Amino acid sequence: METFELWSYDVQGDLGEYAEHTYIHCPDKDAYFNCWGNHASPTQGPGIHRFSCQGIYDVANRYRRNILSAHDTAGLGLYGVNGVCHQTANLFLFSSGRAITVQDGVKGYAITCLAYGPYGDYGPLDEPSKSLFLAMWKATVYDPCYDDYVQEQEPGGTLFHWFSRLHNEIVSQELKFDPLELLHREAAILVEQAVPGLEAGVFKDLHLDFLREKNQALATGIKGTQMVQTINDLAAQFQHALGDRIGDEAYEKLTGLKAGNTVNIIDPSIAALV
């Protein structure tokens, strides 16, 4: 097992001052998983060290999956459609049994999880009959790389455990599910951990409406600047509505943002690469 460090830094310019890019540093190997972007900000250097955990570098190193000029996608899929750097970081952390939490302080993480889930999500044009996104990713990307490392992970009561439990329940019982409903159930776990006493059902209608509008927009085939602007605008509208619904204190605990502030979830500089 090697040390995996999660780092983040503010993304400047068009994305706004509140969003942070995440990447993984493996000091034992003097290596990085750049998670679509880079491992240093032009103005802030490496950024902020959020946490360290133990993972299996030799497994994660096998599924870097570069796409054109974008490095280390973890086999997530398409940037802005299936997820962004936060979801990719969680995929690289998979062998550790650790997932990013709201308490880790990564700005924008709660919002990207509400948009794509913690590990990524199918796009609107994917086959609806496919298995859960994480189950598919694990079977087709992670497991072939795992090889001799196959063993049971017991993450205990961590966020990783509860996400896995939810997915395993659906897969094992062959439950019929609405992918958007699943994202909301994942969000409920995130919310319960970040803001005890806040029920995700309070904003379920807002969340599902946002997810439907996001998928409808992506299904039109928009790309480039139009895609970035459209999804970021929808995310901002959702955040304003969310803040109004749950109140200033809960909004700040969940998102790390002051009342009235929002974060864009798609970085146009990365979207332009793919």
What's the pLDDT at 154? 44
CA angle in degrees (0–180, nearest 5) for 206-110-100: 145
Among the residue ranges 73-77, 153-157, 234-238, the one predicted with the least confidence is 153-157
Tell me: the pLDDT tens digits for 20-51? 999 999 999 999 999 999 998 877 789 999 99
State the pLDDT at residue 147: 58
What percent of the chain has a predicted confidence (pLDDT) above 90?
66
Q: What is the DSSP string of 30-56?
A: TEEE-TTS-SSBTTTBT-EEEEEEEE-
Residue pLDDT, tens place only, 83-96: 999 999 999 999 99
What pLDDT is stored for residue 61 in this prediction? 94
What is the average pLDDT across 5-9?
96
Q: Which of 111-115, 128-132, 182-186 has the highest mean pLDDT?
A: 111-115
State residue 92's pLDDT score: 98
Better-predicted residue by pLDDT, 171 or 231: 231
- Reported confidence tier of residue 151, pLDDT bands at 50, 70, 90: very low
Contact (Cβ atoms closer than 8 angstroms) between residue 146 and residue 59: yes
